[in-house]
Amino acid sequence: MGNRVMLGSSFLFIIFFIFNLAFLEAQVAPPIYVFGDSLVDVGNNNYLLLSIEKAILPHYGIDFPTKKPNGRFSNGKNAADLIAEKLGVPTSPPYLSLISLVKNNKNSSFLDGVSFASGGAGIFDGKNDLQSIPFTKQVDYYSQVHEQMTQQIGAPSLQKRLSKSIFAVVIGSNDIFGYFNSKDLQNKSTPQQYADSMVTSLKVQLQRVYNYGARKFVIVGVSAIGCCPALRLKNETECAVEANLLSVKYNDGLKSMMKGWQLEKNDIRYSYFDTYAALQDLIQNPSSYGFAEVKGACCGLGKLNAQIPCLPISKICFNRQNHVFWDPFHPTEAAARIFVDRIFNGPAKYTSPINMKQLLPL
């Protein structure tokens, strides 16, 4: 009788253990693979020896846990950090930092997520790729990572893992800045033609990422570019209308392309985030979100703190929580937190057809 009780208890314990193991496995957050520009760069540019596109000077990182510059173009955490924070996982490390470990014969794995994002990167390849890692090259790096992961765990296991992973893409702003900084580009194409070519080029690279196993995408549209301090400065403190119109044209094309692509590839799931609408909401209703300054940068010099970029000699605002913009181009951590909360939770006003939370495994 005693043995039966013991056997029954052991059996129940095993069932309970297996159930909990399965539950915990189901709750494990998926790896995040990040592609993009300075809005999500977590240090890749620090490894580009000839690049001047680096956030390595004070006052960058002043509100980061280390209180030091760390390659993030922010006073604190950026969107990549905050997305990882939502999932309860470490920030995906910079690809070039992992390559550095491999070269020094130290253990390194790409299976838990990687960031390929690079400050200054665009959808189009730049004239000087020594300054940043353009989107095409970021995808090239991912193809190499895919090959190494395949060797590590085999193709079937890797595909199963990647099908649950999140692929975040935050890019396009620098291409729009580039258009308005180049008379040659403006002479060659209308804003609509340029926006269309951005979307076409982006799809080519997304298809490559898909071919290497990606199935779940977080696609972030560009913000109201004309409302950043640098462009307000050129337009006497008002938002630059032409830049905002190009942003809208690109975002409309991007949304249309993603809908069509999903019809072509019915195993794709994605969440599009309307950064433009989210930023406009902060600018038009600042007090509702605790902001007092929506035009000027927190760190910089001159009019709107945007005539000279954020340097050690720059003026820096005392309260970074009430500024939307940290420097002439980038949001503060406070603004980024609001954006990421909407990326993750919605509502439908900002995310379509679903939000990031709905992309996660059940």
Residue 122 contacts residue 172 (beta carbons within 8 Å): yes
Residue 63 contacts residue 299 (beta carbons within 8 Å): no
DSSP 3-state assignment of 300?
strand
**Burial environment of residue 17 by CB neighbours within 10 A (0 to 12, 13 to 18, 19 or more):** exposed
How many angstroms separate the CA atoms of 64 and 160, rounded?
35
Tell me the residue ranges of DSSP E strands in 228-282.
269-273
How many angstroms separate the CA atoms of 298 and 318, rounded?
8
Task: Tell me if residue 330 is catalytic.
Answer: yes
Catalytic residue among 267, 287, 327, 341: 327
How many angstroms separate the CA atoms of 305 and 293, rounded?
12
With CA atoms as reference, report the closest residue to 332 among 241, 229, 240: 229
How many angstroms separate the CA atoms of 110 and 149, rounded?
7
How many Cβ atoms are within 10 Å of 207's Cβ, its own excluded?
A: 14
Task: Tell me if residue 59 is catalytic.
Answer: no
The tokens describing 141, both together, are 């790096």
With CA atoms as reference, report the closest residue to 203 among 151, 257, 167: 257
First to last CA, the chain: 42
Catalytic residue among 59, 146, 323, 330: 330
**How is residue 331 annotated by DSSP?**
B
Catalytic residue among 37, 38, 59, 132: 38
Q: Mention every residue, 6+ apart, whose C-beta is less than 8 A from residue 156.
A: none
Residue 316 contacts residue 305 (beta carbons within 8 Å): no
* CB-based burial, 79-112: b 16+ in 10 Å, e otherwise: bbbbbbebbebebbbbbbbbbeeeeeeeeeebbe
The tokens describing 91, both together, are 């920030």
Strand order in the sheet with 113-115: 113-115, 32-36, 166-170, 216-220, 269-273, 351-352
Q: Which residues are catalytic?
A: 38, 327, 330
